[in-house]
Structure 1
Amino acid sequence: MRAISSLTDTGPSALALLSRMIREEGRRHVPSYAFAFVCMGVTAAATGLSAYLMRDVINQLFVDRNQSAIIWLGVAVVAIYLAKGLGSYGQDTTMARIGNRIIAGVQTRMFEHLLRQDLGFFTGTHSTQLIAQNSFIAVSARNSLNLVVTSIGRDLMSLIALTTVMVVQDPLLSLAALVIMPPAVLGARYLTRRVRGVAQRQYEGSAQIVAALQETAQGVRVVKSFGLEEVMLQRMGSAIAHFQRAANKIAELASRSSPLMETLGGMAVAVVIIYSGWRVIAGGQTPGAFFSFLTALLLAYEPAKRLAKFNVDLNAALAGVRMYFDFLDSPTAEGPAEAAKPPLAVSAGRIAFEDVTFGYRADEPVLRGVSFVAEAGRTTALVGQSGGGKSTIMNMIPRFYDPDGGRVAIDGQDVSAVSLPSLRGAIAYVGQDVFLFAGTIRENIAFGHLGASEEDVVAAAKAAHAHDFILGFELGYDTPVGERGLQLSGGQRARITIARAVLRHAPIVLLDEATAALDSESEVAVQTALDELSTGRTTIVIAHRLQTVQRADRICVVEGGRVVEEGRHEELLARRGRYFHLHAMQFRDEGERRPGRQATA
């Protein structure tokens, strides 16, 4: 899928990914990063100074026994740790704010790119992958940048400050203590090569968990009706186990540097103790320098250990960054170039299909030279058996897909040559998958025309025959519709979507099986609302129930990706062709289902 790329594929190096991340996301936060660096510098300096003062503390306390010097040293230590605390606070809060801004920016940028994708992208990508990907990538982007900044600002500067103290106290011993660095770096390089594939498996497990949760919530009636609780539990358990194994593996790889660092660090401390102890006992050196050196060495251990596994942590974070840029670099069908095209100028609303061909996959054509005209201000119905291409034809008009050949024209203008906003602004769409957004009834109707007044919303509801049942709710137009509108009945949801379409005041109306899932009583009310919506507008309607389109101005029979018959209801029946057979078959089936039907000879 275009949304997800494998992290095991060859692609940009970690350095290239990081450089691009800094250019596109990091540089917007340079002032904040600069302040964080200053705070980190204060913290690092305070850490080094606290280690340095240990020499004077030990010498003044145990050698010179100077009471007044000890008091002043105590005051200095308080001041140093106060500065360190303030530096840490400034660093932590600033980095947290930067991280939150990065997450917000990345998620916004991804969502903008997502909105420019065509319908084929969404039909080919599971929604749970988009959800999991959005969160995973945003956190990865934050972690990668913050890791670089904290490693350089906090760990590296602290290590430099403490190393300086060590060199000042004993240059020769410092050189011996720092021999732990090369083996630690070599060990970390080995771990880096393995973390990338494990990060991919961790993301896949996370996506599977989201998928199991979403499908269970959305399909709970099916789950409970068919007793699928155990099946869903097994699917969730498998996804959690997959994620857990990957997370454990990453933790294991990230922790493998610890035994090496602990061993090497212990060796360095042992060397320092033996050598410095000998110099104090046999050489007469004051113990203050020894304790200062040892304190600096022990304090340097943690930042050195973090820097040793920096490359491992960075590559784990860059896993999501790689996916982020792969997604942003994927082509879009609805980019800025579309908005730059001239607007559609609708004079009458005449729609013409001219030898249109299309296939969702190569060598599998769905439309095979479709040609017909939907006259302005008239209703044109598309009928035929499922899979014939009716919905695909309708999807060509608002350019959910573009034809492979031929063209679709509105008032003589090729829809591919006009801007998408102007094209879709001229169309009101009502589908069989009645979708309402989370919010109130008023908000869902108002989506038809952003900025509509209260009077416009109410007028649209009245035109859709929805006003009366809306006022029957305690909160009226402020009634929450629930997730996907499930707190309302099917007929109520359908009439709200029709009100939304009415409010659009569009010259072209597309109705895709708008009454297919309704009971007879709801269908009558919704059909009445649809008739009012279609009046005076160019309307294309798809219907399986032929009785709902008998009054259409033109009926097109679609089979095998072609329009095989055209005409009015009476004309097509008189021809005794495909429409006649569809009509006879449908009404025969309805007659057989009608109770009390008498057998005829």
Structure 2
Amino acid sequence: MPEEEKEVQQRSIKSLWTTLMEIFDLSKPYRFRFYAATVATIIASAIWLTVPLGLRELLDAVFESGDADLLNLLAIGLFFLFILQAVFSFTGNYHLEWVGERVITDLRKKVYQHLHRLGFRFFAERRLGEITSRLTNDVGSIRTALTDSLPQLLTITFSLIGSVSLMIMLNWRLSSVIFLTVPVVTIATRYFGKKIRELSRGIQDELADSTAVAEDALSAVRLVKAFVREDYEVDRYQTAVEKLFKTARRKVVLTQLFWSGVGIMFMTTLVIIFWYGGQEVLAGRLTAGDLVAFIIYALNISRSINQSSRLYTAVNSAAGASERIFELLDETPEIEDSPGAKPLKNVKGQVTLENLHFAYEDGRDVLKGISFEGKAGETIALVGPSGAGKTTLLNLLPRFYDPQDGSILIDGQDIRDLKVKSLREKISIVPQEIHLFGTSIKDNILYGKLDATDEEVIRAAKDANAHEFILETEHGYDTPIGERGVKLSGGQRQRLAIARAILKNPAILLLDEATSSLDSESEAQVQEALYRLMQNRTTFVIAHRLSTVQHANRILVLDEGEIVEEGTHLELIEQKGLYSHLYELQFRDLDADSQLNMRF
């Protein structure tokens, strides 16, 4: 059996008690309030147990002694008992709900923080919708287990023990009737609880799948509309939610069958108790007050066992969802600070790669023994065919991944010996596909330096050739730009990304196809901004347009994960190798495009 299947099987057979203990550990910071609330609910339950005895005395006072004063006193006493029970019940339930909401809030923050600690590999292997579902839907399910399970279990247990003890005290023969049903209910609860837990886990998985389908389509709404695939995406989502509905329906059927069966069993038992108890009253072995108290206690036992069965199914449902959260929290960050890691300070920008090897999960080497040295302030271009390993190489510099072999040094220091946060603070990336947040222009620029002044933001925008178009927007720097910057053109988004990078003021700059998707006018503005950004910084540039890298200090030509050529533009042209071949192909294509345009 594969290792992954073994792990899934081990998780699926994890005991319910183990899962509950993991959930209750979350409430440790609030345990005093939690325990006090539990005690309050138990006291409320204890008060409720005295009510049938009070009713017995009340009935016997009316039908036997005829004492009106005793009747009044007992009625007033019962009234105050109800008030006291309500006070303790409110106190206990309020604080339990408070703990539940507080724990869920803490857990959401903890899970979200943990997600940001995980590496690129984790997110590459999972769909965003599934992760979002765990953060929202699954976390909420834990509240049920926390606020409903242990406190209710204690109060139900206390109520059952108290009711049974008082029933035996009233009439042990009559008590034996209800005990016959308890083993049957217990066995049924364990069987149905396991099935419901499995279905609940399936529901959460399918809910995550449907969320992922919606996330995929809505995040690519332009593509969907451009290809007129609205109906296709609606069908995809409807298929996913119909599958979810079928699993949920199976759970509902199973749950209702279980509850209905338990209800019929106890109602039958109550009828027997009522009939047999009536016989005992007629025989003089039981008073009318005793019978009423006994029936109330029997109802209380019925209610408690029914609650416990519902609680068991609810907790199993919550446990199925909570397991997914704990699996997520068990994920270990791929990239972490090593023991004794030091902050990166006073960076000059010298970058050295020594015999670098890297592979993804499939085991095929993407980089094979890459070695070179980039001097501080140099501009180094990476060129080569698609799949040569250029972007992978850039991803290793800020430690988005770690190589399997070899090392990367900045100013002579191995980056694995540096604090990850300090390393990434000295590196800025301007990718081809710019991601902007759906906030204002100013907020997106400030992402480079959160405490920057307005003057610094404006200066960065000017250096990025963005200031003029920003002033032309409706609210200037406070203009919302829509989800992922949809209200801006490609060139405008690129210039905001450059302004963000300028504000960060990095020592090392990574440019990954930063101008490849722009028109000529936008490219000229972006290129000018990039040249300003590159001044006095060590810069790595990936570009398929070889005309944009001619002025690089050095060009590294990669092919199948290896550096096959190295030199300046003129040196590589003279070598008549891969770079020269790619250059000739590009300019031949450009000549063909020019001739085609002339025909029109």
TM range (shorter): over 0.9
Deviation at 1:276, TM superposition (A): 1.7
Deviation at 1:535, TM superposition (A): 0.5
Deviation at 1:13, TM superposition (A): 2.3
1:37 is aligned to 2:55? no
Partners of 2:583 and 2:231 in 1: CA distance: 45
* Structure 1 segments unaligned to the other structure (5+ residues): none
Q: Which residue of 1 aligns with 2:195?
A: 194
1:203 is aligned to 2:204? yes
Deviation at 1:548, TM superposition (A): 1.4
Deviation at 1:203, TM superposition (A): 1.4
Deviation at 1:290, TM superposition (A): 0.7
Q: Which residue of 2 aligns with 1:495?
A: 495
1:457 is aligned to 2:457? yes
Q: Which residue of 2 aligns with 1:104?
A: 105
Q: Which residue of 2 aligns with 1:234?
A: 235
Q: Is the 8 A contact 2:118 2:333 kept in 1?
A: yes
Q: Is the 8 A contact 1:269 1:297 kept in 2?
A: yes
Deviation at 1:130, TM superposition (A): 0.5
Number of equivalenced pairs:
596
Partners of 1:294 and 1:338 in 2: CA distance: 68
Render the CA deviation track for 1:234-254: whole Å, top value 9, x for unaligned.
211221122112222222333
**Normalised TM-score (structure 1):** 0.93
1:545 is aligned to 2:542? no
Render the CA deviation track for 1:468-519: whole Å, top value 9, x for unaligned.
2222223222222222122222222111111111111111111111112222
Shift in alpha-carbon separation, 1:172–1:596, aligned structure 2, 3 A:
closer
Once the two structures are aligned, what percentage of the paired residues are identical? 32
Partners of 2:598 and 2:399 in 1: CA distance: 49
Q: Which residue of 2 aligns with 1:75?
A: 76
Q: Which residue of 2 aligns with 1:374?
A: 374
Shift in alpha-carbon separation, 1:37–1:274, aligned structure 2, 3 A:
same
Q: Which residue of 1 aligns with 2:93?
A: 92
Partners of 2:212 and 2:322 in 1: CA distance: 22
1:250-399 alignment to 2 at 5 Å? 250-283=251-284, 285-335=286-336, 337-338=337-338, 340-399=340-399
Q: Is the 8 A contact 1:346 1:411 kept in 2?
A: no
Once the two structures are overlaid, the 10-residue window that deviates more, 194-203 or 381-390, is: 194-203
Q: Is the 8 A contact 1:367 1:561 kept in 2?
A: yes
Partners of 2:430 and 2:261 in 1: CA distance: 65
1:386-465 alignment to 2 at 5 Å? 386-465=386-465
Q: Which residue of 2 aligns with 1:58?
A: 59
Partners of 1:559 and 1:440 in 2: CA distance: 41
Once the two structures are overlaid, the 10-residue window that deviates more, 186-195 or 11-20, is: 11-20
Deviation at 1:543, TM superposition (A): 0.7
Deviation at 1:461, TM superposition (A): 1.4
Q: Which residue of 2 aligns with 1:180?
A: 181
Q: Which residue of 2 aligns with 1:21?
A: 23
Deviation at 1:552, TM superposition (A): 1.2
Shift in alpha-carbon separation, 1:84–1:7, aligned structure 2, 3 A:
farther
Deviation at 1:528, TM superposition (A): 0.9
Once the two structures are overlaid, the 10-residue window that deviates more, 123-132 or 456-465, is: 456-465
Partners of 2:29 and 2:441 in 1: CA distance: 40
Partners of 1:509 and 1:133 in 2: CA distance: 35
Give the superposed CA RMSD. 2.4
Q: Is the 8 A contact 2:335 2:399 kept in 1?
A: no
Q: Is the 8 A contact 2:128 2:215 kept in 1?
A: no
Q: Is the 8 A contact 1:464 1:495 kept in 2?
A: yes
Q: Is the 8 A contact 2:356 2:403 kept in 1?
A: yes
Partners of 1:211 and 1:461 in 2: CA distance: 36
Q: Is the 8 A contact 2:466 2:492 kept in 1?
A: yes
Render the CA deviation track for 1:511-558: whole Å, top value 9, x for unaligned.
111112222211111111111000110000111111211111111111
Partners of 1:231 and 1:63 in 2: CA distance: 78
Deviation at 1:65, TM superposition (A): 4.1
Report the AA paired with residue 58 of structure 1. Answer: L
Partners of 1:438 and 1:161 in 2: CA distance: 59
Partners of 1:316 and 1:425 in 2: CA distance: 44
1:566 is aligned to 2:572? no
Q: Is the 8 A contact 2:59 2:288 kept in 1?
A: yes
Q: Which residue of 1 aligns with 2:591?
A: 591
3-state DSSP of counterpart to 1:370: strand
3-state DSSP of counterpart to 1:366: strand
Q: Is the 8 A contact 1:355 1:370 kept in 2?
A: yes
Deviation at 1:596, TM superposition (A): 6.0
Shift in alpha-carbon separation, 1:5–1:318, aligned structure 2, 3 A:
farther
1:216 is aligned to 2:209? no
Partners of 2:128 and 2:340 in 1: CA distance: 30
1:142 is aligned to 2:108? no
Q: Is the 8 A contact 1:106 1:141 kept in 2?
A: no
Q: Which residue of 1 aligns with 2:120?
A: 119
Report the AA paired with residue 40 of structure 2. Answer: C
* Structure 2 segments unaligned to the other structure (5+ residues): none
Report the AA paired with residue 251 of structure 2. Answer: I
Report the AA paired with residue 525 of structure 1. Answer: Q
Q: Is the 8 A contact 2:378 2:537 kept in 1?
A: yes
Q: Is the 8 A contact 2:428 2:510 kept in 1?
A: yes
Q: Is the 8 A contact 1:7 1:197 kept in 2?
A: no
3-state DSSP of counterpart to 2:514: coil
Render the CA deviation track for 1:553-599: whole Å, top value 9, x for unaligned.
11111111111111111221222221111111111112211256679
Partners of 2:519 and 2:77 in 1: CA distance: 83
Report the AA paired with residue 15 of structure 2. Answer: S
Deviation at 1:112, TM superposition (A): 2.2
Report the AA paired with residue 210 of structure 1. Answer: T
Deviation at 1:275, TM superposition (A): 2.2
Q: Is the 8 A contact 1:339 1:419 kept in 2?
A: no
Deviation at 1:5, TM superposition (A): 7.3
Render the CA deviation track for 1:350-395: whole Å, top value 9, x for unaligned.
1122221111134311111112222211211111121111101111
